[in-house]
Structure 1
Amino acid sequence: MENSRIDTLILAAVDGNWSKVARVIGIIADVEKVDVSRIDEMGLVVQARLEVLIQTGILEVQGNIQKWRHSEVRRT
């Protein structure tokens, strides 16, 4: 999956309210019909793109982004 596609899916899943990173990954996995055995792998790809979007100021984060169930993101 291309970075631009992942970014588009992330931005479609995230708004101005805080959303768990695990939820965002789940939404994208569902849209892309990712096999259950590949969700962790895909989650790492989404996490990497989230980090880029955070660094560029498009998203903000609460918590440690590497702990998907214990961190949240939202649009700035």
Structure 2
Amino acid sequence: MLLLDDEDELPAFPQEEEQALAFELGIYGLSKIDEAIVNNTKANWSKVARVISEAITAGGLNYSEATINLHTRRVMLLVESGALESQGNLKKPRFSEVRISNV
């Protein structure tokens, strides 16, 4: 089941398909995902599921489980880096929110 559609939680470790996608995209592709996520995040709180959905559409990628999980992990990295702020459990995109960091 897709994280954007239900209450599932992101697996603790990337699955084989997600790892293959990240490898295929490479550093440039991953940076484009990060850029799309940031560009679709506002100053006000937004649901992570919406931000991910818009970033996937902007990047022209398909809505596979691997793509959604990879985008979710990229959101988590952007929060860890300080680019985004979050509230809620980021492993559950429908039940968490992000916004552009005020820093």
> Normalised by the size of structure 1, how large is the TM-score?
0.86
Bigger-Rg structure (1/2): 2
Deviation at 1:61, TM superposition (A): 0.7
Q: What are the superposed Cα offsets for residues 26-58 of structure 1, whole Å, 9 maximum, x if unpaired?
A: 11222233334x1x2211111111111111111
Tell me the equivalent position of 1:19. 46
Structure 1 stretches of 4+ with a deviation exceeding 6 A read none
Q: Which structure carries more helix by proportion? A: 1
Gaps of 5+ in 2: 1-24
Q: Does 1:53 align with 2:75?
A: no
Gaps of 5+ in 1: none
The CA distance in 1 between the partners of 2:34 and 2:56, in whole Å, is 13
Deviation at 1:3, TM superposition (A): 1.4
The CA distance in 2 between the partners of 1:30 and 1:52, in whole Å, is 20
Tell me the equivalent position of 1:43. 68
Percent of aligned positions with the same letter in both sequences? 36
Q: RMSD in angstroms over aligned alpha carbons?
A: 1.3
